[in-house]
């Protein structure tokens, strides 16, 4: 089987491959770029595996007029920049010892040894610069069937790196066929080793959860996480029951991981996932407004289109109430509305807290009118915010 695409044939990538093959070494595109290309998904980063040792890669890059950055020499990785495009070039390797996310590796010249240390069979696929697929572990049938399986023994792969538990669910959401169910061995290994997640940094957990919740439909994967205890470990108090309802209600809207996280809930989300200040504020605002009685038009006025829509959708998913008729038009109307009064319009008759309270009262009347009352009508024809006699 062959793979192709602009990511493979672009001059920068071919130059890095030629730098290696011209010196008698192998250059194999590997991992996500091959997987995504075979599935027809967009390709982002391009990684290259080789039998050349990292110091050799650096020397060859210099001779070829390319920039070599020693980003991970201990693990065999040199970032080679060609025409402003970065390629991670990593020497074939095998694990000697593993310590969670850290491993002692030994360089190899055997691509099969390199493939055996990868996480999933669909990620252990390689391609030559000409696009010929190299499949040392016979993972291609798994990919074509959209079947996610660990390489070799699932428990052993997880013990090497507990982050692979979260990657198992994330990759299932993005690449597996949900109708095929989850690999039983992999799911059991995740459940058995759930305690290992406590060893991971919250930053890494947060990064994985963001990617998972951004998938087109993460609900089946998140439900499986809940069933095997993983969700409670990473998001204590979270409830996955409303997530499939939300995904259904989204009906083609772009995925939003914060909207989905707000529906999952849980305690201490900011710390659990290392949310930024803005992310934490956004999730908290959605959750707070879910319990408010503000109609869609009011939400649109206060929060503008995108966030207001998130609130309406999340509220419907969690309460089980149907989406209000014409809610999208109401949100748009509110978002476009502009309150016709300013504080100066109520002065000098009012000042201080009384001014703020009166302005809020008038704004509430204006919203209740469907944003139709004019400034003069709100003021009753008089000045200072008082009706005329």
Predicted TM-score (pTM) of this structure:
0.90
The predicted structure's pLDDT at residue 101: 53
The predicted structure's pLDDT at residue 383: 40
Per the structure block, which two tokens stand in for 80? Answer: 């080679």
Cβ–Cβ < 8 Å for 69, 56: no
3-class SS of residue 99 = strand
The predicted structure's pLDDT at residue 326: 96
The predicted structure's pLDDT at residue 186: 97
Give 72's strand partners. Answer: 77
Residue segments in the chain with a per-residue pLDDT below the cut of 50:
382-389
The predicted structure's pLDDT at residue 96: 65
The predicted structure's pLDDT at residue 24: 97
Give me the sign of the Cα torsion angle 354, 360, 364, 369: positive
Task: Tell me which architecture the domain covering 148-234 has in CATH.
Answer: Orthogonal Bundle (1.10)
| Peptide linkage before 118 cis (omega within 30 of 0) | no
User: Do the domains spanning 1-145 and 148-234 agree at the CATH topology level?
Assistant: no
The predicted structure's pLDDT at residue 72: 83
Q: If you write DSSP's letter for every residue of 78-98 in order, what string do you get?
A: EEEEETTEEEEEEE-EEEEEE
In terms of Cβ atoms closer than 10 Å to its own Cβ (0-12, 13-18, 19+), residue 153 is exposed
Task: Tell me which architecture the domain covering 1-145 has in CATH.
Answer: 2-Layer Sandwich (3.30)
What is the C-alpha to C-alpha distance for residues 84 and 65, in angstroms, rounded to an integer?
12
The predicted structure's pLDDT at residue 103: 59
Domain extents for the chain? 1-145, 148-234, 239-337, 343-379
The predicted structure's pLDDT at residue 100: 55
Per-residue three-class SS string for the chain? CECCCHHHHCHHHHHHHHHHHCCCCCCEEECHHHHHHHHCCCCCCCEEEECCCHHHHHHHHHHCCCEEEEEEHHHCEEEEEECCEEEEEEECEEEEEEECCEEEEEECCCHHHHHHCCCEHHHCCEECCCCEEECCCCCHHHHHCCCCCECCCHHHHHHHCCHHHHHHHHHHHHHCCHHHCCCHHHHHHHHHCHHHHHHCCHHHHHHHHHHHHCCCCCHHHHHHHHHCCHHHHHCCCCCCCCHHHHHHHHCCCCCCHHHHHHHHCCCCHHHHHCCCHHHHHHHHHHHHHHCCCCCHHHHHHHHHHHHHHHHHHHHHHHHCCCCCCCHHHHHHHHHHCCCCCCHHHHCCCCCHHHHHHHHHHHHHHHHHCCCCCCHHHHHCCCCCCCCCC
């Amino acid at each position: 089987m062959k793979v192709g695409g602009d990511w493979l044939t672009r001059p920068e990538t071919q130059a890095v491959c030629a730098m290696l093959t011209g010196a008698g070494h192998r250059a194999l595109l590997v991992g996500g770029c091959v997987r995504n290309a075979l599935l027809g998904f967009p390709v982002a980063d391009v990684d290259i595996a080789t039998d050349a040792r990292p110091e050799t890669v650096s020397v060859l890059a210099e001779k070829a007029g390319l920039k070599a950055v020693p980003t991970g020499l201990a693990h065999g990785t040199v970032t080679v920049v060609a025409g402003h495009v970065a390629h991670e070039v990593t020497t074939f390797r095998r694990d000697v010892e593993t310590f969670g996310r850290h491993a002692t590796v030994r360089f190899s010249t055997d691509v099969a040894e390199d493939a055996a240390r990868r996480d999933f069979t669909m990620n252990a696929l390689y391609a030559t610069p000409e696009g010929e697929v190299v499949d040392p572990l016979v993972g291609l049938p798994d990919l074509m069937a959209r079947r996610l399986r660990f390489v070799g023994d699932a428990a052993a792969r997880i013990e090497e790196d507990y982050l692979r538990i979260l990657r198992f669910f994330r990759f299932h959401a993005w690449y597996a066929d949900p109708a095929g169910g989850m690999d039983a061995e992999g799911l059991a290994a995740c459940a058995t080793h759930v305690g290992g997640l406590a060893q991971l940094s919250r930053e890494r957990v947060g990064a994985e959860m963001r990617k998972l919740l951004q998938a087109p439909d993460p609900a089946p994967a998140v439900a499986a996480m809940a069933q095997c205890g993983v969700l409670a470990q990473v998001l204590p108090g979270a409830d996955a029951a409303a997530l499939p309802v939300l995904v259904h209600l989204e009906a083609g809207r772009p995925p939003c991981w914060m909207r989905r996280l707000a529906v999952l809930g849980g305690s201490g989300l900011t710390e659990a996932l290392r949310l930024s200040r803005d992310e934490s504020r956004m999730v908290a605002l959605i959750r707070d407004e879910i319990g408010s009685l503000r109609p869609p038009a009011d939400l649109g006025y206060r929060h503008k289109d995108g966030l207001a829509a998130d609130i309406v959708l999340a509220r419907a998913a969690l309460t089980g109430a149907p989406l209000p008729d014409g809610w999208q038009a109401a949100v748009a109307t509110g978002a476009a509305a502009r309150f016709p009064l300013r504080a100066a319009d109520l002065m000098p008759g009012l000042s201080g807290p009384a001014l703020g309270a009166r302005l809020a009262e008038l704004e509430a009347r204006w919203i209740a009118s469907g944003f139709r009352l004019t400034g003069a009508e709100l003021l009753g024809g008089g000045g200072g915010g008082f009706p005329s006699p």
